[in-house]
C-alpha cells in the first residue's frame, strides 16, 4: 500500500504522536509476523517476463530508442515510488518480490528497525541498507526490567554505534530500548553524526551525565533528547550547561528519570533560547516554584512533566504564593501532563485551567485520593491516556468512568506492590471503567482481587481492546467471589476482543485458560504468563493455536520439554521466547538448538537460585542471522 | 477468605456446568495452589536496591488461598525498580542510610571514589582512610589552624551547599550533614578558615 506522504526524516508531526508511542506497548507499532531481515537471503524469483537481464527485450517494436535498459527504467521508477512506502511491513513485503525490488527497497529504506539487536549483525544490516537516516534498536527482553536477567547480559550499543558511524554519517535519529549504552558510545555518536537530530533512550542504562554532556555540546542540530525510564548515573557533570549558548533547535527535552540535580539557572536559560521547545519533562529535583519560572518562559509547551510539584525545602514562603493558575492558563497548547513526583495535593488546583484540553495525564507517581482526583478528572473530557496510582481506589476509577468517555489507554499502578494486602482497587473499578469507557484500547491494571464477571464485562463492553494486561498481584489468586480460576475471564477476553494483540494473564489459571487463548487468540502477538497453568498442555495450546505469536514470556509455570518441542514449527516466526523457572531441562533446550540452527538458544544461570542442575533456570531464545553472539557473559551458555 | 476452599467444594457443580471449554478439557483440573506446583522454590529475600518490594508480610499470612511459601519473589509483582523506588523514596532513603555513601573527589584525580561514612568511628579513622585511599598525607587537625602545614586538606559540602573543613563540627553532626567530600591542596584551605 503506497501512502501519499513525503518521506520524512524527523518530522515534528510524528514527534507529537511519538511521545505517546514510546509509552505505549511495543505492539502498537505493528511489527510484521515475519521480518524479512530474518528471512534473509535474496529471493530467487525474477521480475515480469519481458524485462530480461539487460540486452534487448521481448518487446521489439521500439527501434532506436536510446532509453536505458528496461529494467533500469523500472528501477528508477521503483526507487521514486518506494520512497513513499513508509510502513515496515509493506517494505518487507516489497523486498520479497524479486531481486530488483529487494535492491531498490534496500536503497530507499530510511528507517531501520531492529526488534532484537542480536537478530542481525550491525555489519549485515548496514551493508544491506545504505541510506538509512533513522535507527531503532531493541535489546533486552522485557523481563529484564524486573530483575529476572542478571546484569551485564548484553545488548550493547557499542558495535551498533561504530557500524552506523561508518555507514551513515548523515544519521539523524537513534531510538534505543533496553540497550546498554556507555558514555563512550554517546561520545562517539556525538562526534560522528554532524546532522544528528533525535536521541531517544527508553529503559537504557550504562551511561551517565557525562555522556549526555557530549551529546548536548556536540549535536548542534539536536531537536529531541528524550530519556525515558533510563538509569543515568550522576557523573557530577552539569550536562544542561553543555548545550551551546546560541539559540537551539530543541523541540523535546525529557529527563524526568534523571536522578541528579541540574543547575536551574542554566535550565531556565536553555528554555529561553529554545523557542521551538514543545515538550519538556522535568525531573523531581525541580520544585514547583522553579516550574513556574519555566512555564512563564515557555507557554508554547504541548507536553509538560512538572517535576516534583512541591515547594523546595529551603526556599521561603514565596513559592506558595506564585500564581500557578495563571501560569497554567497561559499554556493554551498543553495537552499532555505528567510528573507530580512529590506532589503536595494542595497545589493540584493549579492545573484546573488546562484540564479540559488534556488528552494525556500521568498521575502514576502521585499518591492522591479519590477526593483529590475528582475535581480534576471531572473536567478532563478529552482525556485519552490516563496513568494513575491505585491510591484513587475504585471510587476514583468510577469518577474516571463517568467523565472520560474518550479514554483509549488506562494504566493503574500499585502504590504498595506487595502481595498480601487488601488493595484499594478491585473488580469494582474495572467494571466501572468497562461501562464508562467504551472506546478503551489498552489497559494495564494492578489489583489484589478480581472476578471473572468483571473481566467478562470488559470483554463485552470494550470491543476495541488491543492490549489487555491484568496483574492480580497475589500469585494464583482465584476469582475472589466464586473461588473459580480466572480462566473464564481471560477466555472471554480472547473470544470477544477481536482486535486483541497483546495479553498478560495472572491469577489462578488452569490449562483451560490457555486452551481458550490457543483457540481464540488468533492475532495475539505478545503473551505474558506468570505462575499459571497445570501442565505442558497449557503451553502446547498456545504454541499450536496462535499463528501470530511473536513474543512469549513465561515465568514460574509448570511447562516442560514436551511443550517446548511442540513449538518447533513456529519459533522462526517469533522474535523471542523467554521461559524462566519452568520445567525445562538442558536436554530439552539442546534439542531445540539442534533442530533449529538459526535459533540462538541461551540458557541463563542465576546465582541466587537454589536450583538443581536438572532444570534450566532461564531459557531465552530468538531467531538470528548472526549466529551466536560474541559478547556472551559467563553465566550464559549458548547451546 | 473464600477461595481455595470453595473451589474444592464446588467440584460437582463444575461437572454439570455449561462451559465453553474444549472437549476433553476441564475434567482433570489439578487442585491445589501450593508453591510446589510450579517448581519455583522461593528465593531468599532479595531486595532490589532501595526497593520497596517490602518487608516480609508475616502478619498477612492468614489467607488460605495464598501459596504456602510467602517469601518475596524476585520481580513480582512486575513493577520496574525505578517506579518502586520513586513511590517510596522515604523507604529508599532509610535503606540507603544504613550505610552512608558519599563521593570523594580529589583535585587532580581523574575518578571519584565512594566511601561509607558509617564504618568510621570518628575523624581520625576517616582521615587515615582517606590518606590510604589517595596515597597522601593530611596530617593533624587543629581547631585554630585547620590542617595548616599539611599538603592536603579534606573538605566537605554540607546540606546548605557550603564547603566546610572536615573536623570543624562534632562527628555526629558531620555525619548527618555531609553530602560529599573533596580533598583540596593545603594552600587552598586557608580561605575556609577555622571553626563553623
pLDDT in tens, A25-69: 344 334 333 333 333 333 333 333 333 333 444 444 445 555 556
Give the Cα separation of A227 and A258 in Å (integer).
8
User: What is the Cα Rg of chain B in Å?
Assistant: 29
Give the Cα separation of A384 and A380 in Å (integer).
9
Give the Cα separation of A374 and B40 in Å (integer).
43
pLDDT score of A345 more than 90: no
pLDDT at B87: 81
Tens of pLDDT, residue by residue over A408-434, are: 999 999 998 887 778 899 999 999 999
Q: By three-state DSSP, how is residue B114 classified? A: strand
pLDDT score of B53 more than 70: no
pLDDT score of A218 more than 90: yes
Give the Cα separation of B6 and A48 in Å (integer).
68
Establish if B140 touches chain A: CB-CB under 8 angstroms: no
Where does A239-287 have alpha helices with state H? 264-272
pLDDT at B34: 35
Tens of pLDDT, residue by residue over B142-172, are: 777 777 777 888 899 988 888 888 888 888 8
Tens of pLDDT, residue by residue over A498-531, are: 999 999 999 999 999 999 999 999 999 999 999 9
pLDDT at A280: 98
Question: Which band of pLDDT confidence, cut at 50, 70 and 90, is reported for residue A21?
Answer: very low
Would you call B38 and A609 a contact, using CB atoms and an 8 Å cutoff? no
Give the Cα separation of A445 and A397 in Å (integer).
11
pLDDT at B17: 57
Chain B residues inside the 8 Å CB shell of A227: none
Q: Give residue A617's Cα distance to chain centre.
A: 26
Give the Cα separation of A173 and B112 in Å (integer).
33
Question: Which band of pLDDT confidence, cut at 50, 70 and 90, is reported for residue B108?
Answer: confident
| Residue A170 CB contacts under 8 Å (≥ 6 apart), including other chains | A133, A193, A195
Nearest to A556 among B4, B33, B38 (CB): B38
Would you call A419 and B76 a contact, using CB atoms and an 8 Å cutoff? yes
Chain A residues inside the 8 Å CB shell of B74: 146-148, 608
Would you call A534 and B29 a contact, using CB atoms and an 8 Å cutoff? yes
Q: By three-state DSSP, how is residue B4 classified? A: helix
pLDDT at A66: 57
pLDDT at B125: 86
Tens of pLDDT, residue by residue over A571-587, are: 999 999 999 999 999 99
Q: Quick one: closest CA in B to A554, which residue?
A: B38
- How close are the terminal C-alpha atoms of chain A, in Å? 41
Chain A residues inside the 8 Å CB shell of B39: 558, 581-583, 615
C-alpha dist (Å) from residue B129 to A563, B163, B165, B171: 58, 20, 17, 15
Give the Cα separation of A571 and A325 in Å (integer).
56
Where does A426-552 have alpha helices with state H? 427-436, 452-461, 487-496, 511-520, 536-545
Q: Quick one: closest CA in B to A147, which residue?
A: B75
Asked if the ipTM is above 0.90, the reply is no
CB-count burial class (<10 Å; 0-12, 13-18, 19+) for A346: exposed
| Residue A160 CB contacts under 8 Å (≥ 6 apart), including other chains | A117, A122, A135, A137
As a whole-number percent, the residues of chain A with pLDDT over 90 amount to 76
Question: Which band of pLDDT confidence, cut at 50, 70 and 90, is reported for residue B31?
Answer: very low
Q: How many CA atoms lie within 13 A of A430 on its CB side?
A: 28
- The dihedral through the CA atoms of A44, A45, A46, A50 has a sign that is positive
pLDDT at A279: 98
Identify which of A85, A55, A86, A58 has the alpha carbon closest to the alpha carbon of residue A72.
Answer: A55
Q: Give residue B92's Cα distance to chain centre.
A: 6
pLDDT at A332: 95
Give the Cα separation of B31 and A108 in Å (integer).
58
Chain B residues inside the 8 Å CB shell of A477: 3, 65-66
Q: Quick one: closest CA in B to A413, which residue?
A: B79
Grid cell for residue A102: 529487494
Q: Helices (H) and strands (E) in chain B — how many of each?
A: 6, 5
pLDDT at A7: 40
Nearest to A476 among B46, B67, B81 (CB): B67
Higher pLDDT, A42 or A164: A164
Backbone angles phi, psi at A299, to 5 degrees: -70, -5
Nearest to A417 among B40, B74, B77 (CB): B77
Chain A residues inside the 8 Å CB shell of B4: 478, 483
C-alpha dist (Å) from residue A128 to A169, A307, A572: 16, 43, 21
Give the Cα separation of B50 and B85 in Å (integer).
6
Grid cell for residue A66: 536510446
Q: How many CA atoms lie within 13 A of A521 on its CB side?
A: 33
pLDDT score of B194 more than 90: no
Q: Quick one: closest CA in A to B33, which residue?
A: A476
Grid cell for residue B16: 454439570
Omega before B77 within 30 of 0, i.e. cis: yes
pLDDT at A277: 97
Nearest to B3 among A421, A478, A557 (CB): A478
CA angle in degrees (0–180, nearest 5) for A278-A213-A155:
90
Chain A residues inside the 8 Å CB shell of B63: 420, 474
pLDDT at B72: 66
Chain A residues inside the 8 Å CB shell of B81: 147
The residue-averaged pLDDT of A302-307 equals 97
Q: Quick one: closest CA in A to B51, which residue?
A: A417
Q: What is the mean pLDDT of chain A?
A: 88
The residue-averaged pLDDT of A254-282 equals 96
pTM (two decimals) = 0.74
Find the range with the poorest average confidence among A246-250, A358-362, B9-13, B109-113: B9-13
Amino acid at each position: 500500500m503506497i501512502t501519499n506522504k513525503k518521506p520524512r526524516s524527523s518530522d515534528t508531526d510524528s514527534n507529537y504522536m511519538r511521545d505517546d508511542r514510546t509509552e505505549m506497548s511495543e505492539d502498537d507499532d505493528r511489527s510484521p509476523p515475519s521480518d524479512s531481515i530474518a528471512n534473509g537471503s535474496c529471493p530467487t524469483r525474477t521480475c515480469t517476463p519481458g524485462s530480461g537481464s539487460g540486452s534487448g527485450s521481448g518487446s521489439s517494436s521500439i527501434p532506436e530508442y536510446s532509453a536505458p535498459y528496461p529494467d533500469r527504467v523500472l528501477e528508477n521508477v521503483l526507487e521514486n515510488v518506494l520512497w513513499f512506502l513508509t510502513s515496515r511491513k509493506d517494505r518487507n513485503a516489497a523486498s520479497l518480490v524479486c531481486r530488483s525490488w529487494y535492491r531498490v527497497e534496500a536503497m530507499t529504506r530510511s528507517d531501520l528497525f531492529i526488534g532484537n539487536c542480536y537478530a542481525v549483525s550491525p555489519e549485515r544490516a548496514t551493508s544491506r541498507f545504505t541510506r538509512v537516516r533513522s535507527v531503532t534498536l531493541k535489546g533486552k527482553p522485557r523481563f529484564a526490567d524486573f530483575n529476572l536477567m542478571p546484569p551485564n547480559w548484553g545488548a550493547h550499543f557499542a558495535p551498533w554505534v561504530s557500524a552506523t558511524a561508518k555507514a551513515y554519517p548523515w544519521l539523524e535519529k537513534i531510538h534505543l530500548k533496553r540497550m546498554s549504552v556507555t558514555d563512550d558510545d554517546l561520545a562517539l555518536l556525538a562526534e560522528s553524526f554532524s546532522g544528528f537530530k533525535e536521541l531517544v533512550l527508553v529503559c537504557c542504562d550504562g551511561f551517565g551525565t557525562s555522556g549526555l554532556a557530549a551529546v548536548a555540546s556536540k549535536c548542534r542540530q539536536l531537536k529531541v533528547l528524550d530519556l525515558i525510564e533510563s538509569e543515568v548515573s550522576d557523573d557530577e557533570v552539569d550536562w544542561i550547561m553543555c548545550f551551546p549558548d546560541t539559540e537551539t533547535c530543541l523541540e523535546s527535552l525529557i529527563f524526568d528519570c534523571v536522578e541528579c540535580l541540574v543547575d536551574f539557572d542554566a535550565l531556565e536559560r536553555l528554555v529561553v533560547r529554545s523557542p521551538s521547545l514543545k515538550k519538556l519533562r522535568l525531573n523531581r529535583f525541580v520544585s514547583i516554584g522553579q516550574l513556574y519560572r519555566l512555564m512563564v518562559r515557555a507557554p508554547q509547551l504541548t507536553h509538560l512533566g512538572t517535576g516534583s510539584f512541591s515547594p523546595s525545602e529551603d526556599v521561603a514562603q514565596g513559592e506558595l504564593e506564585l500564581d500557578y493558575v495563571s501560569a497554567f492558563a497561559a499554556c493554551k497548547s498543553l495537552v499532555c501532563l505528567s510528573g507530580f513526583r512529590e506532589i503536595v495535593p494542595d497545589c493540584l488546583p493549579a492545573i484546573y485551567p488546562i484540564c479540559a484540553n488534556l488528552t494525556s495525564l500521568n498521575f502514576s507517581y502521585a499518591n492522591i485520593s479519590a477526593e483529590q482526583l475528582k475535581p480534576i478528572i471531572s473536567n478532563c473530557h478529552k482525556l485519552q491516556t490516563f496513568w494513575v496510582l491505585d491510591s484513587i481506589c475504585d471510587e476514583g476509577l468510577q469518577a474516571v468512568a463517568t467523565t472520560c468517555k474518550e479514554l483509549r489507554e488506562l494504566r493503574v499502578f500499585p502504590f504498595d506492590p506487595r502481595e498480601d494486602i487488601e488493595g484499594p482497587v478491585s473488580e469494582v473499578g474495572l467494571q466501572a471503567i468497562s461501562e464508562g469507557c467504551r472506546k478503551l484500547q489498552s489497559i494495564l491494571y494492578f489489583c489484589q482481587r478480581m472476578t471473572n464477571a468483571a473481566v467478562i464485562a470488559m470483554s463485552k463492553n470494550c470491543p476495541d481492546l488491543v492490549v489487555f494486561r491484568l496483574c492480580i498481584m497475589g500469585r494464583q489468586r482465584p476469582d475472589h467471589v466464586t473461588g473459580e480460576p480466572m480462566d473464564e475471564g481471560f477466555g472471554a477476553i480472547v473470544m470477544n476482543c477481536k482486535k486483541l494483540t497483546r495479553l498478560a494473564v495472572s491469577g489462578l489459571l488452569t490449562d483451560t485458560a490457555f486452551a481458550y487463548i490457543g483457540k481464540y487468540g488468533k492475532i495475539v502477538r505478545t503473551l505474558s504468563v506468570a505462575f499459571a497453568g497445570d501442565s505442558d498442555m497449557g503451553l502446547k495450546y498456545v504454541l499450536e493455536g496462535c499463528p501470530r505469536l511473536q513474543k512469549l514470556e513465561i515465568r514460574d509455570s509448570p511447562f516442560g520439554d514436551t511443550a517446548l518441542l511442540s513449538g518447533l514449527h513456529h519459533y522462526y516466526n517469533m522474535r523471542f521466547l523467554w521461559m524462566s523457572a519452568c520445567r525445562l531441562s538442558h536436554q530439552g533446550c539442546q534439542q531445540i538448538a539442534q533442530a533449529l540452527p538459526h535459533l540462538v538458544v541461551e540458557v541463563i544461570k542465576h546465582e541466587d537460585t537454589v536450583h538443581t542442575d536438572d532444570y534450566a533456570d532461564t531459557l531465552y531464545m530468538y531467531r538470528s542471522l548472526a549466529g551466536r553472539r560474541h559478547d556472551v557473559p559467563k553465566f550464559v551458555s549458548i547451546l | 477468605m473464600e477461595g481455595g476452599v470453595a473451589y474444592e467444594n464446588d467440584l460437582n457443580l463444575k461437572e454439570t456446568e455449561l462451559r465453553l471449554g474444549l472437549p476433553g478439557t476441564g475434567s482433570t483440573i489439578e487442585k491445589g495452589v501450593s508453591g510446589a506446583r510450579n517448581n519455583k522454590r522461593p528465593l531468599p529475600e532479595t531486595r532490589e536496591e532501595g526497593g520497596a518490594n517490602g518487608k516480609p508480610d508475616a502478619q498477612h499470612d492468614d489467607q488460605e488461598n495464598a501459596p504456602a511459601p510467602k517469601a518475596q519473589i524476585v520481580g513480582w509483582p512486575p513493577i520496574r525498580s525505578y517506579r518502586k523506588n520513586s513511590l517510596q523514596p522515604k523507604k529508599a532513603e532509610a535503606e540507603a542510610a544504613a550505610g552512608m555513601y558519599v563521593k570523594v573527589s580529589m583535585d587532580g584525580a581523574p575518578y571519584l571514589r565512594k566511601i561509607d561514612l558509617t564504618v568510621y568511628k570518628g575523624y581520625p579513622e576517616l582521615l587515615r582512610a582517606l590518606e590510604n585511599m589517595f596515597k597522601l598525607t593530611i596530617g593533624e587537625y587543629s581547631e585554630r589552624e585547620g590542617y595548616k602545614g599539611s599538603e592536603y586538606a579534606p573538605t566537605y559540602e554540607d546540606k546548605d551547599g557550603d564547603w566546610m573543613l572536615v573536623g570543624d563540627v562534632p562527628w555526629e553532626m558531620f555525619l548527618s550533614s555531609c553530602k560529599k567530600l573533596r580533598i583540596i591542596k593545603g594552600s587552598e584551605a586557608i580561605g575556609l578558615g577555622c571553626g563553623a
